[in-house]
Amino acid sequence: MLERLLTALKARFGSAPALAEAPKGVDVLADMANRRVMRRYLDQPVDPALVETLCAVALSAPSKSDLQQADIVIVRGKDQREKLEALLPDNPWVKAAPVFLVFCANNRRHRLLYGWRGQPFVNDHLDPFFNASVDAGIVLATFVAAADRVGLGTCPISAIRNHPGQVSDILGLPDHVFPVAALGMGWPSFAGVMSPRLGLDVTIHHDRYDESGLQEKIAAYDRRREAVQPYKTQRFAERFGQSDSYGWSEDKVRQYSVPERAGFGAFVRMKGFRLD
């Protein structure tokens, strides 16, 4: 099982730590290292009780100062789903997902406590927004890991933040509650494809942040990724042309050459957050 873990890590990162002895839970680590995003599902329902169980497991994750600032909206209503799906034209696979969830950051409950006890809320600045966002992200990641363990496939949907006001209205989110990401889930219809990641020498640092040789390391990653998982199309070819070599770095530059979610800060302020 140790060999399976190391093989998965090498496939993912191009290298693996020099682990000589299998740790406890190595089979779980191997599964996690080998996980794949899933956008194709069987036409098979998921037991609602299992979905709620996975939510409960995810909400068991660590929470900043025990503030518990994450909520999960399980969207089952046909009208609700159709309205949300209409906001995601670039994610047509969402319609086929048997389960659709929206993970929200919730700083509202924390603030209500002060009103109930007649106390002023003195920390009205960026930190409450950040704390709630991180809590929601941790719960999302924990949900994905839990779903993997029972054999379900998932795919997070950050594009839900492209229309935060409309999503907020559809879901009835009050002030100080906002969508962080959605998630499609179902029983996988195929094994999925592993996405290679940046090398460990890029994203793991020892004692101090280190960017030495970064450009060369990313170029090497571009070549490795292009060899095993080439992009099917090149973004905005009419603007940038067709590149002979099209790797991750070129794709990301093109992707964010177009302004995206420029109004999200205004939306968050409208929700009652101060970001200074």
Q: Can you give the CATH number for the domain in which 159 is found?
A: 3.40.109.10
pLDDT digit string, tens, across residues 180-229: 999 999 999 999 989 999 999 999 999 999 999 999 999 999 999 999 99
Sheet of 99-106, strand order: 70-74, 99-106, 177-186, 153-157
Domain end call among 157, 192, 227: 192
Q: Confirm if 12 and 32 have CB atoms less than 8 A apart.
A: no
Residues 182 and 95 in one domain: yes
Residues 234 and 260 in one domain: yes
Residue closest to 74 by CA, chosen among 96, 97, 92: 97
* pLDDT at position 5 over 90: yes
Residues 222 and 154 in one domain: no
Residues 171 and 98 in one domain: yes
pLDDT of residue 1: 86
CA distance 197 to 20: 23
CA distance 94 to 159: 11
Residue closest to 61 by CA, chosen among 136, 149, 150: 136
Over residues 44-61, mean pLDDT: 98
Task: State the average pLDDT for the chain.
Answer: 96
CA distance 266 to 112: 23
Over residues 236-247, mean pLDDT: 93
Q: Is residue 158 part of a domain?
A: yes
The pair of three-digit structure tokens given for residue 114, joined into one six-digit string:
């002060």
Which residue carries 């069987």 as its tokens?
42
b/e burial code for range 120-130 (CB count within 10 A of at least 16 → b): eeeeeeeebbe
* CA dist 194 → 34, 126, 239 (Å): 7, 36, 30
Q: Is residue 41 part of a domain?
A: no
pLDDT of residue 235: 95
CA distance 270 to 24: 48
First to last CA, the chain: 49
Q: Confirm if 43 and 15 have CB atoms less than 8 A apart.
A: no
Which residue carries 């670039």 as its tokens?
90
Residues 163 and 218 in one domain: no
Q: Is residue 166 part of a domain?
A: yes
Residue 153: helix, strand or coil by DSSP?
Answer: strand
Residues 178 and 72 in one domain: yes
Q: Is residue 113 part of a domain?
A: yes
Q: How many domains does the chain have?
A: 3
pLDDT of residue 209: 98
DSSP bridge partners of 57: none
DSSP bridge partners of 184: 100, 155
* pLDDT at position 179 over 90: yes
Over residues 33-54, mean pLDDT: 97
Question: CA 35, 39, 40, 44 torsion: positive or negative?
Answer: positive
CA distance 178 to 187: 28
pLDDT of residue 273: 97
Residues 177 and 234 in one domain: no
Residues 25 and 62 in one domain: no
Q: Confirm if 4 and 188 have CB atoms less than 8 A apart.
A: no
Over residues 134-146, mean pLDDT: 98
Domain end call among 192, 225, 248: 192
Over residues 261-267, mean pLDDT: 95
Residues 172 and 55 in one domain: yes
pLDDT of residue 117: 97
pLDDT of residue 152: 98
Residues 183 and 66 in one domain: yes
Which residue carries 């036409």 as its tokens?
43
- How many separate helices (H) and strands (E) can be counted in the chain? 12, 4
Q: Which domain holds residue 3?
A: 1-34
Residues 17 and 62 in one domain: no
